[in-house]
Structure formats: C-alpha cells, structure tokens
Amino acid sequence: MFEHIYLSTWKNNISYNAGDVLADKNYSNFADKYPDLMSIDSHYMIEGTYHFLLPRPARDTQEAFIRMQSFSYGKLGKNYYTERKNYPSYLLLFTYQGEGLLRYNGKEYSLKRGDLFFIDCRKYHYYCTTGNEWEHSDLHLQGLFVNQFYEEYQIDRHPVFHFSNISLYQNILEKSLRIQTGNEIHWGARVSHEFEKLLFLLAEQVPDITEVVQPPENIVLLRTYLEHNFQQDLSLDQMSAFCGISKYHLCREFKRFIGFSPREYIVKLRVSQAQLLLQSTDTASYKIGIMCGFENETNFIRQFKKHTGMTPGKYREGFTT
C-alpha cells in the first residue's frame, strides 16, 4: 500500500503528545514554514508508527484548486487520540484495520475496516483508537470547492461512509498522492481533479438512511409549483396555505432544504427566464420583464442587475453579433 509514494516517517513505535511537540526545538521552524498545519485548539497523543506527507508549495494561480493540506498514514496504538477545533481544513479519514471512534456534532460513531468519515475540522471533533491498534490514513483538504462541496452534499448527511471495496477509494487516493509528489508541470490542476473525484465518490455513497434528512413533501411540491408558476404574483400567505404550515415555518423549512427563501427562489427563476429570452428573442426588454413576472420595468432592471451584475440591455449586447 502507498507504493512509489515517498512518505516521511516521524518515528517507529513512539509515543508523544501535543506538549512534547511544543517543547521540541524544531517546532518553531516547522510552524513558521507550515502555519496552516498549526492549531492552538489541538490536543493529541500519538502512539505507534506514523508516516506523513507535507504540502507542496502552490502558486497563487492555484488557489482555486482543491489542495492537500497534509496527508498521514499510521498504525496507531491504544492510547492514540486527536481532539481539535478551529482547524482550517476538511478531513477524510479512512480505516484499514482495527477500530476507532469519532465524536462529531454531538454524536459518537464507531469506525471499522472500510469506514471513512468526512468532517469540517473547524467544528469540534475527537477521534481515538478503541482497540489495541487502529490503522488509518488522514487526508486534510483545503480550497473553495471543498467548502462548497461540503455545504452542498455533506452538511446534513451522516459523516461516516462504508466501502466494502476498499480499493475503490484507495486507487484514487494513491493516484492523487503520486501526482502530488510527481514531476508533472501542471500537477496542481491534475491533483485537484483527482481530489474532486474522491469527493464525488463520497456523494455517490449511501450512508445510514435513517440519518439522512429528506425534504418534506410539501416543500418539494411547492418548489415544483413555483418553477411552473413563477410569473404569477404569489404572496407568502398563498404559499403557506399551499403547504399547510405557517409563514414562519415555511420560510425556515424552504431555506433549510432549498437554500433560498421562497421569495428569493421566485426572483431567481424570473431572472433565469429573462436571461433566456434576452439571449434568444428580439422582444423588448421591458416586455420580457413583465412576461417573467416583474411588476414594472424599474423593478426588473434592479433585480436583474442585482443577480447578474449588469442591466438587461447590457446583458443582451453580449449575445448580439
């Protein structure tokens, strides 16, 4: 496992904690060189064999990519644990052998062979060995895409996934690390692509279905209704009557599951339709605004510019020859 990938070895069969690290004479130099790897809200006990890979410096133009903050692999003993919060990364931890435990978002999860968890390390988390040894890998990722992915796919999901076919995950992980340590000129873009594949592999997995929060049927039906009737002047009272719940509860639930308030969703639908008509027809822009449900031309221009950054007329110019 991890053949042709050079991993540094901290020490074999050692035991040290956060206090030992802080007291090490090389710590300050390491902290200056890798400030993103430091966290003042961190406590841990490392016991066993520990291998790691530090990040390769990236150019400013690579800031948009998914970036490896750090990677480690170890066979950790019974006293191993990590307790942390306010750490700027997202962690994929995969269990190869042994057993561990995760505490996250007020719940506990047992971890066995083939289990992986995906968490936001800015939140409080604790994980430890629960048997005599826990063999696992830790992949810390950063980047705008990772944050957006977590918010879209993971925030309401069970954090633990199980892979009955370990090689499914391992093959992509090892390819990512080989590119990370290889000699390709455009390694940043390539490794970012592999990390993206790793994340979408998670999105395809089905965690414990009892832990997945599904949108209520009335919210799903309202979304569909709005997508077919956004031109109409629909009040919040009418929408709450459609769903059979209070206006306050409707706004809260719609925002939670759809990502926008009902009113915001209607405006976005109207603007999207207006964009399509401006691109594909010669209809006067003020007429398009009325057709899409805006009350007048002034309101149409204001809302269109708010959501696209330009006026309807300027937008249309980009599609005229």
Q: What is the CATH number of the domain that holds 299?
A: 1.10.10.60
What pLDDT shows up at residue 304? 94
Handedness of CA 105, 202, 141, 79 (dihedral sign): positive
Of 196, 211, 226, which residue sits at a domain end?
211
What pLDDT shows up at residue 61? 54
Cα 91 from Cα 113, distance rounded (Å): 18
Whether 196 and 76 share a structural domain: yes
Identify the three-state secondary structure at position 187. helix
Q: What is the tally of structural domains in the chain?
A: 2
How confident is the model over 262-279, as pLDDT tens digits? 999 999 999 999 999 999
- Domain assignment of residue 1, yes or no: no
Whether 235 and 174 share a structural domain: no
DSSP 8-state assignment for residue 309:
S
What pLDDT shows up at residue 152? 82
- Domain assignment of residue 271, yes or no: yes
Cα 37 from Cα 239, distance rounded (Å): 48
CA-wise closest residue to 90 among 113, 108, 112, 66 = 66
Name the stretches of the chain with pLDDT < 50: 12, 15, 17-22, 27, 30-31, 34, 37-38, 208-212
Q: How far apart are the first and last CA of the chain?
A: 57
CA angle 67, 65, 174 (to 5 degrees): 50
What pLDDT shows up at residue 265? 93
What pLDDT shows up at residue 37? 47
Whether 117 and 181 share a structural domain: yes
Cα 82 from Cα 111, distance rounded (Å): 15
Of 211, 244, 263, which residue sits at a domain end?
211
- Domain assignment of residue 3, yes or no: no
Domain span at 238: 217-317
Identify the three-state secondary structure at position 202. helix
Q: Where are the alpha helices (H) located in the chain, listed in sequence order?
A: 18-23, 27-33, 144-149, 166-181, 187-204, 217-229, 236-243, 247-258, 262-280, 285-291, 297-308, 312-317
- Other CB atoms within 10 Å distance of the CB of residue 13: 10
Whether 119 and 253 share a structural domain: no
Q: Do residues 79 and 13 make contact, with C-beta atoms less than 8 angstroms apart?
A: no
- Which residues are CB-contacts of 189 (< 8 A; sequence separation ≥ 6)? 62, 65
Identify the three-state secondary structure at position 184. coil
Whether 205 and 224 share a structural domain: no
Residue 98 region by backbone torsions, left for phi larger than 0, else alpha for psi between -120 and 50, else beta: left
Whether 158 and 88 share a structural domain: yes
What pLDDT shows up at residue 9? 81
Identify the three-state secondary structure at position 60. helix
